[in-house]
Amino acid sequence: MKRGKRRSEKTGLPPGTPVHVGEQKSQRTKITVIDYDEQHLEEREVETVEECAIFKDQPNVTWINVAGLHQVEVLQQLGDCFGLHPLVLEDILNTMQRPKMEDFDDCIYVVVQTHYYNDKSRKIVTEQISLVLGPSFVLSFQEWEADLFDPIRERIRSRKGHIREMGPDYLAYALLDAIVDGYFAVLENLGEDIELLEEELVAGPGGATLHRLHDIKREVIFLRKSVWPLREAITGLARGDSPLVKETTRLYLRDVYDHSIQVIDTVETFRDMLSGILDIYLSSISNRMNEVMKVLTIIATIFIPLTFIAGVYGMNFKYMPELGWRWAYPAVWLVMAAVGVTMAIYFKRRKWL
Amino acid sequence: MKRGKRRSEKTGLPPGTPVHVGEQKSQRTKITVIDYDEQHLEEREVETVEECAIFKDQPNVTWINVAGLHQVEVLQQLGDCFGLHPLVLEDILNTMQRPKMEDFDDCIYVVVQTHYYNDKSRKIVTEQISLVLGPSFVLSFQEWEADLFDPIRERIRSRKGHIREMGPDYLAYALLDAIVDGYFAVLENLGEDIELLEEELVAGPGGATLHRLHDIKREVIFLRKSVWPLREAITGLARGDSPLVKETTRLYLRDVYDHSIQVIDTVETFRDMLSGILDIYLSSISNRMNEVMKVLTIIATIFIPLTFIAGVYGMNFKYMPELGWRWAYPAVWLVMAAVGVTMAIYFKRRKWL
Amino acid sequence: MKRGKRRSEKTGLPPGTPVHVGEQKSQRTKITVIDYDEQHLEEREVETVEECAIFKDQPNVTWINVAGLHQVEVLQQLGDCFGLHPLVLEDILNTMQRPKMEDFDDCIYVVVQTHYYNDKSRKIVTEQISLVLGPSFVLSFQEWEADLFDPIRERIRSRKGHIREMGPDYLAYALLDAIVDGYFAVLENLGEDIELLEEELVAGPGGATLHRLHDIKREVIFLRKSVWPLREAITGLARGDSPLVKETTRLYLRDVYDHSIQVIDTVETFRDMLSGILDIYLSSISNRMNEVMKVLTIIATIFIPLTFIAGVYGMNFKYMPELGWRWAYPAVWLVMAAVGVTMAIYFKRRKWL
Amino acid sequence: MKRGKRRSEKTGLPPGTPVHVGEQKSQRTKITVIDYDEQHLEEREVETVEECAIFKDQPNVTWINVAGLHQVEVLQQLGDCFGLHPLVLEDILNTMQRPKMEDFDDCIYVVVQTHYYNDKSRKIVTEQISLVLGPSFVLSFQEWEADLFDPIRERIRSRKGHIREMGPDYLAYALLDAIVDGYFAVLENLGEDIELLEEELVAGPGGATLHRLHDIKREVIFLRKSVWPLREAITGLARGDSPLVKETTRLYLRDVYDHSIQVIDTVETFRDMLSGILDIYLSSISNRMNEVMKVLTIIATIFIPLTFIAGVYGMNFKYMPELGWRWAYPAVWLVMAAVGVTMAIYFKRRKWL
Amino acid sequence: MKRGKRRSEKTGLPPGTPVHVGEQKSQRTKITVIDYDEQHLEEREVETVEECAIFKDQPNVTWINVAGLHQVEVLQQLGDCFGLHPLVLEDILNTMQRPKMEDFDDCIYVVVQTHYYNDKSRKIVTEQISLVLGPSFVLSFQEWEADLFDPIRERIRSRKGHIREMGPDYLAYALLDAIVDGYFAVLENLGEDIELLEEELVAGPGGATLHRLHDIKREVIFLRKSVWPLREAITGLARGDSPLVKETTRLYLRDVYDHSIQVIDTVETFRDMLSGILDIYLSSISNRMNEVMKVLTIIATIFIPLTFIAGVYGMNFKYMPELGWRWAYPAVWLVMAAVGVTMAIYFKRRKWL
């Protein structure tokens, strides 16, 4: 939320005004087109939106991928070309969107978030991805050129699976599937982080454990915020009645839906585990404080009375008969030993030793 | 709740009695009228309600904005003129209303709250706004003359967007949109406050952090209390079946509805984050107490026994053979060093050092 | 739950056996009748149930208010006279009823609770109120003669509002409205108590703060327990299909329903605020403990080593060369000053000073 | 769960195998039959199941009560005689059943739990009760011969209420009513326990308070676990469409349903109160620790520096000019007094004194 | 999640690609076939999938159990033979599936998890079990050859119960019943662990108690995660409308459904109990810390002032008149006794002693 336009700067603008909201995460807007059917395949990077227009009305499946969202005018041309509603265009550009699915009779708009786990910073990076599914095309909008969709491009090229035989709805499914699969990778990394945390906890936690716990908790809160509406969006696609999604594809979408529920389950489990870890953390701090206090108390309560006794016989009164007695000194040692042993027994009984 | 009439002072009055409840926040009641269609635009500030009456039955869109609610008689005249139900008038005047939407066949009444973040006091200020949507007019009631609706006035004047071509339902939508957009500004400010809090937490929290946390928590509780029913009110408009709201406008209302859900999501996330921060705060206090205790314990448990030994040889007994020995003094130093080192090793083992 | 019959003492009695459960809160049962239509008004206190019977079949609206529930036989006569179901009579007498609304085709039975805030004891007092709405009468049963309904009597007498022109359903609405308005007064008092608590918290909380917090929390729990079913009961009236409630009155009932939701919102907000206050309370205790510990630790860790040094040179060994040195004494002072300053710098670095 | 068969020992047996699960709580199986209509009444204890069979097809209401469930073969004969489904018999014998209601067209099976509060052990004892409602009979199965149903027997004998004029559905209602009434007695006892706990809390809590709190909490958890499904079972009876339950009886069942909701409300309130008590308990421990620490700190921080001063002038250096001064001793007393008073003022300012 | 393929490694593969995800838990894939009707029974272990094919179209009930899932090609042959959808095969192989039930018109696919309690490690072991119910066959897939289904095999062999007379749906029910019964065994073990924990808590908890508590909590979280969707899967079977499940079997499935709810109830109760135990644990740590602090404070506050007095008269000033007094020494003893007794009375009053 630091760089780029903020959401509130749009206040007062008419609805449908395309403004890029959020950080600018890529240098330029890169448009790639893949056009295929069972027999043919054409793949190229285009410079201008006009080049895309020719693919629009062909019966082949056309997949136009746009990476980089800050060049508003390019996106607006694309929107005009494919007849996108101004509100859709606005949503594509606002990268702080809540995942949702909207059915405009002639196309379906889906916006979701995908997450990457950065191994170095141990933080989650989020990218918003918008999909528009039309009768013969799929438009996908990414914030930057991530390699998330590469396996699908590969499958199209190599004819692996059925993707070449299916329509644009199957392509949209495949993209969503890749996005949801991305969650599993992030969850596995988070799961490992949580396991590390538990190990630290057993080994003896410090302040760093606490801040790491807080960081992971925050990541989980954000994941959770994006995955619940994702599930809603997918169920909207799978159970909706749009003719753009064929019955055979719905079966696959229900599979993705199951995966999204699994993601939710795992996220909720992580929350429970993290709050359990915090409890244990707090308890072990208390436990350790207890230990420290016991040591202090044992030492202090044994030696303070003894020091007092020594102090008494260090007084300089003229008339202190004990000072002259022959066995006074050993006797004092005996008394002091007795006091010490009594104390030790008391602590033993109290199970402090 | 401090100045002005309190809610309970209305007890026992017949329903529909217009009484202003809440603080008086403006000096006078200011009524402005904007009357427009695609071609014409008339904008003026009126002194008496009679001046408004003439706009009522014209086909043009008439927007009457009333700022300042304590002049009950003016509002009552306006209510009579536009045929408002007494209960509606009562609700407009009661500035502690819960957001809601009510459909009286000939008009729709919506009451919502808008919030401003005061940068100086770092507190949220709340204003209640009532909207009445009729067949050709929109009445809006504000507690004081805030600049919330200025961008919309500007859009009407400058014909930006479609607002001049649309009916009063679109105007009502535009007002609601501005109100919901106001939430984002407040949320961004709160978000920054929370980030500040987290930074303070890392730097080392004090009592001030705690009270700031409490204040922000309270703001979030109040935001939450106003935003959930706001969502209900908007969904009532978007999904209702009143002929006053046209189908094209419903699409825009659904967009505002999405925004309101996003506001709710963010508010809930803030709650989670604040409770996380409190946990960390409490844990770090415990951690620091632990540190303090360790230092005390290390120093005390090392020196108390040593002081005891010194005390012993400070005793004035006549018959203490050690006192006369040649190497007794260095020997005592050695003993004391041994005790100290043993203790230090013990603490090292316990990982206290 | 202390005086009077307890709920469990009814165990085993046949259903519909009228037994007064709960404390006896008034000396005698006082029955007042108000009979009115647009033109006429008759108001009187009656001694026997027979006097009520004559009003029953007149078309005028008859409001019979019974204050004091322990004279079971009087209530039973009244029940027989107005044809109340034995289970209704049982419920009226059991003053630990859960708020509810029941539709017996020929009458509607509503039982709710009203609360008074006792300024002296700062406690909430609860009264159960039962309403029976018949075709031309309203029976209301109070535990004692409270002044809750006085404003309504006044409105009937003075023809303020529409009450004289409306039927018994409007009267029942007016009574419910007065009851729900009573909640606002209680909530305002509780709200002030909570504000006081927050101020105490800032000033420095003690054990009394804690017990006050606990007391308010308990009041809120009890309020909550009575207000949720109240809302259900009112919605049952407002959205039910009984011919006893006219369509025009339903509009007013929906208004009361809105108020009841507002009460719930406020109660829930109070809960959140109280749990926030407890968190702050606990944190500030921890904070203060921390302060106390720091002071102790600073003083102890500075002076304990110094005392040890002084102790060493208080030993009485014959052969302690330092004792005879010329500058030994000032040197020891220097050493002690150095130790003290080192410690102070250490604490400064740790930000304990 | 300690004596008797455990649930898991049934694993692998075919469904419907009658096995007694749970503790054996009575010595023998006692079967009593009450057969009545408006005119006649026959009551006797039977030895064999055959004696029951003759009552089965008579139009009179027959109530067969079985106390003691471990004699599996007796129960199986009874089941065969009255045509119970094997799964029902299995459920009757498994005394760890979840309350539920099942409608087998020719009979209705209800299983619920009843609780007794043992005044001595201050623990709740649980008994499972199964009811089978047939066209002209009610079978009830208890784990031991408890006096729960005695008042109903008495009502049948003495013709109190309408029970003799009504059918078996009313009898089943009366039994359920007695069972739900039993909850109120338990709740009143628990409520008193909670009040005691709160008083202990004010008086000054110890470890015993904590364990008592834990015990009550556990009882409440178990009550809660049995009362929610109880409510479901009763609503199933009251709102079901079985011809075995007459319309007039449904009214009474709705009354029991209201009672069960009241029980739930109270249980939930108890939970809230107990968690509030725990919070207060924890806070007052912290408070008391704070007090203890303050006393220690005040004493230690005043006397440790003073002891240091005394220690300094207890050193035996040859050249300590102060030692020879005339007013040194009183001057040291003055210095020590000054240090003490300064400390006391400091503590006063910090509000520790 | 440590050995074997991880879920994320499947990213990018076309849907329906059979890949084994999860740990490999058995050496080889073992396929056993049981084919039976009322008269005949054939049971054998097969080596190749072809041997299974012959059973497919016979009217007898055929139960094919596959133990060990890592031999992907064997499973694929089986899938082809019995016409399983590729997505089903993928789910069978992915051993981190969420329990679910899916109805493909010609077969029903159910995937659930079963748990074993390992007495030695006191940990729960989880196995995923997939069932496919076809018109005349049931396929069951286990991760390793566990003895979970042995009692059912025994029942088929020995004709115990009705299993030989019923169809494949009853067999599927019996398998599910065995799986749900397995939960009870695990819950009983967990229940005993929790009781042990409570006993430890009373005896005096240590750090081990805490980690055991954390472990059990984690097991409960995982159980919970698997049992809620299990309930959904069973209800899908019991209330679905597939012709593959006969009406008589649905009755039994509802019984399993009841059991699954009972499992859920118990799991939720365990959660409540564990959080209660944690509260008690934390409270008793605080209590014990309090005890420790009191001992320290009592000893320190009594002896520190006394040591100070002794220190004063150990000073070596030339002019200290008290030193020469005859009764000074006994007087100092009296003063010190007085101080000690005063302190003790103070502590007594504060109830620290």
C23 and C91 share one domain: yes
Q: Is residue E247 part of a domain?
A: yes
Nearest-5° Cα angle at B43, B38 to B45: 160
Minimal CA–CA distance to E280: which of E219, E191, E198?
E198
Within 10 Å of residue A322's Cβ, how many Cβ atoms?
A: 16
With CA atoms as reference, report the closest residue to E223 among E193, E192, E268.
Answer: E268
CB distance E151–D11 less than 8 Å? yes
For residue E299, the chain A residues in CB contact (below 8 A) are: 300-301, 304-305
Q: Are A25 and A144 in contact (CB under 8 A)?
A: yes
For the stretch A78-134, pLDDT in tens is 998 898 988 899 889 888 889 999 988 889 999 999 999 988 888 999 999 999 999
- Chain C CA closest to residue D173: C15
- Nearest residue of D to residue C324, measured between CA atoms: D318
In the three-class reduction of DSSP (H, G, I as helix; E, B as strand; rest coil), residue E35 is classed as strand
> Cα B157–B161–B167 angle (5° rounding)?
80
Other CB atoms within a 10 A radius of the CB of residue D118 amount to 10
Q: Are E101 and E173 in contact (CB under 8 A)?
A: no
Closest by CA to A65, choosing from A165, A164, A158, A174, is A174
DSSP result, A23-45:
---SSS-EEEEEEE-SS-EEEEE
Domain boundary among D283, D300, D315: D283
Say if CB A332 and CB B334 are below 8 A apart: no
B203 Cβ neighbours under 8 A, 6+ residues apart: none
Residue that the structure tokens 């049971």 belong to? E43
Among the three residues E237, E255, E283, which one is the final residue of a domain in this structure? E283
Closest CA to E1 of B136, A190, A212: A190
Q: Closest to A217 (Cβ–Cβ): which among B174, B276, B282?
A: B276
pLDDT, one tens digit per residue, over D232-279 is 999 999 988 899 999 889 989 999 999 999 999 999 999 999 999 998
**Under a CB-based contact definition with an 8 Å cutoff, are residues A236 and A220 in contact?**
no
Average pLDDT value for residue range B323-349: 92
Neighbours of B168 (CB within 10 A): 22
Q: What residues of chain E lie within 8 A of the CB of A116, using their CB?
A: none
Range of the domain at E344: 292-349
DSSP state of A22: B
By the 10 Å C-beta count (0-12 exposed, 13-18 middle, 19+ buried), B215 is classed as middle
Six-digit token string for B252: 């825009």
DSSP three-state, residue C53: helix
Do E45 and E156 share a structural domain?
yes
| Residue whose C-alpha is closest to residue E184's, from E259, E293, E92 | E259
Specify the higher pLDDT residue, B192 or C95. B192
Total count of domains within chain A: 2
- CA of E90: which chain A residue's CA is closest? A255
- Determine whether the interchain pair D290/C288 forms a contact, defined as Cβ–Cβ distance below 8 Å: yes
**Minimum-distance CB partner of D304 among E178, E185, E304:** E304
Confidence band for C223, pLDDT divided at 50, 70 and 90: very high
How far apart are alpha carbons B137 and B34 in whole angstroms? 10
Residues B129 and B13 in one domain: yes
Is E1 a member of any domain?
no
Within this chain, do residues C345 and C213 fall inside the same structural domain, yes or no? no
Asked if residue D1 is part of any domain, the answer here is no
Is the pLDDT confidence value at C2 over 50? no
The span from the CA of D186 to the CA of D123, in Å, is 10
Alpha-carbon distance A36 to A324, whole Å?
113
| Residues on chain A touching B252 (C-beta within 8 angstroms) | 15, 87
Q: Are residues D328 and D197 in the same domain?
A: no
B269 falls in which pLDDT band (50, 70, 90)? very high
Question: Hey, which chains touch D, using 3+ CB pairs under 8 Å?
Answer: C, E
CA–CA distance, D296 with A257 (Å, rounded to integer): 62
Overall average pLDDT of the B220-247 stretch: 92
Q: What angle do CA C101, C103, C107 make, to 5 degrees?
A: 110
Per-residue confidence at C138, pLDDT binned at 50, 70, 90? very high
Q: What is the mean pLDDT of residues C10-25?
A: 77
B11·C188 Cβ contact <8 A: no
More confident call, D194 vs B105: D194
Taking contacts as CB-CB distances below 8 angstroms, the residues of chain B near C191 are: 1
Would you say the ipTM is above 0.90? no
DSSP code of B118? E
In the predicted model, what is the mean pLDDT of chain D?
89
Domain end position, chosen among B256, B283, B310: B283
> Mean of the per-residue pLDDT values for chain E?
89
Check: CB of residue A86 under 8 Å from CB of residue A18.
Answer: yes
Six-digit token string for C307: 């005392």
d(CA E16, CA D136): 59
Binary contact (A252, E87; C-beta < 8 A): yes
DSSP type of residue C21 = B
Query: Rounded to 5 degrees, what angle do the CA atoms C129, C132, C138 make?
Result: 100
CB D197 within 8 Å of CB D165: no
**Which tens digits make up the pLDDT trace of E12-49?**
778 878 888 777 777 778 999 999 998 889 998 988 88
Q: Which of A4-13, A144-153, C11-20, C133-142 has the highest mean pLDDT?
A: C133-142
Percent of all residues in chain E with a pLDDT value above 70, rounded to a whole number? 99
Given the structure tokens 């059915």, which residue do they identify?
A103
Q: Are residues E88 and E223 in the same domain?
A: yes
A283 contact B CB<8A: no
Q: What is the pLDDT of residue B4?
A: 56
Q: Do residues E100 and E220 share a domain?
A: yes
* DSSP string over A77-104: HHHHHHT--HHHHHHHHBTTPPPEEEEE
C257 and C322 housed in the same domain = no
The answer on E304 and E248 residing in a single domain is no
Residue A178 lies in a domain: yes
- pLDDT exceeds cutoff 70 at C269: yes
Burial class (CB in 10 A: 0-12, 13-18, 19+), D191: middle
Cα radius of gyration rounded to whole Å, chain C: 34
In this predicted structure, what is the pLDDT of residue E4? 56
- The residue ranking higher by pLDDT, E18 or E4, is E18
Q: Which positions in chain B touch A314 (Cβ < 8 Å)?
A: 311, 314-316
Residue E139: beta bridge partners? E64, E132
Is residue B2 one of the residues assigned to a domain? Answer: no
In this structure, the answer to whether residues A193 and A341 fall within a common structural domain is no
Mean pLDDT calculated for residue range B69-91: 88
Among E residues 296-325, those touching chain A with beta carbons less than 8 Å apart:
296, 299-300, 303-304, 306-307, 310-311, 313-316, 320, 322-325
The CATH number covering residue E180 comes to 3.30.460.20
Confirm if A112 and A230 have CB atoms less than 8 A apart. Answer: yes
Q: How far apart are CA A297 and CA A286, in angstroms?
A: 16
Chain B neighbors of C336, CB-CB under 8 A: none
Distance separating alpha carbons of residues A340 and B58, to the nearest angstrom = 101
Contact E83, E104 (CB under 8 A): no
Residue B203 lies inside a defined structural domain of this protein: yes
Query: Residue A237 has which token pair?
Result: 């696609």
Residues 177-206 of B with CB under 8 A from A: 177-178, 181-182, 184-185, 188, 191, 202
On the question of pLDDT at B176 being above 70, the answer is yes
Helices (H), E135-167: 150-158
Q: Are E23 and E6 in contact (CB under 8 A)?
A: no
Q: Find, among C197, C200, C173, C189, the residue nearest to C223 by Cα.
A: C189
Query: Could you give the strand order of the β-sheet that contains C123-133, starting from the edge strand earlier in sequence?
Result: C41-46, C30-36, C61-67, C137-142, C123-133, C107-118, C100-104
DSSP D84: -
* Phi, psi (deg, nearest 5) at residue C293: -60, -40
Find the residue in A nearest to B295 (Cα): A292
| CATH code, domain with D301 | 1.20.58
**Probe site for chain E from D7, D211, D281 (most E CB atoms < 10 A):** D7
Q: Please indicate, yes or no, whether residues E215 and E123 belong to a single structural domain of this protein.
A: yes
**Domain assignment of residue C1, yes or no:** no
- A-interface mutation test, from E1, E2, E11, most A Cβ less than 10 A away: E11
Instruction: Confirm whether B1 is domain-assigned.
Output: no
pTM above 0.90, yes or no: no
**Reduced to 3 states, what is the DSSP secondary structure of residue D2?**
coil
The per-residue pLDDT for range D47-87, each reduced to its tens digit, is 888 888 888 878 889 999 999 888 888 889 999 889 898 88
Note whether E213 and E80 are same-domain residues: yes
In this predicted structure, the answer to whether residue B215 has a pLDDT above a threshold of 50 is yes
Residues (pLDDT < 70) of chain A are 1-5
Cβ neighbours of B286 in A, within 8 Å:
282, 285-286, 289
E52 with E64: CB under 8 angstroms?
A: yes
Closest CA to B268 of A225, A111, A215, A216: A225
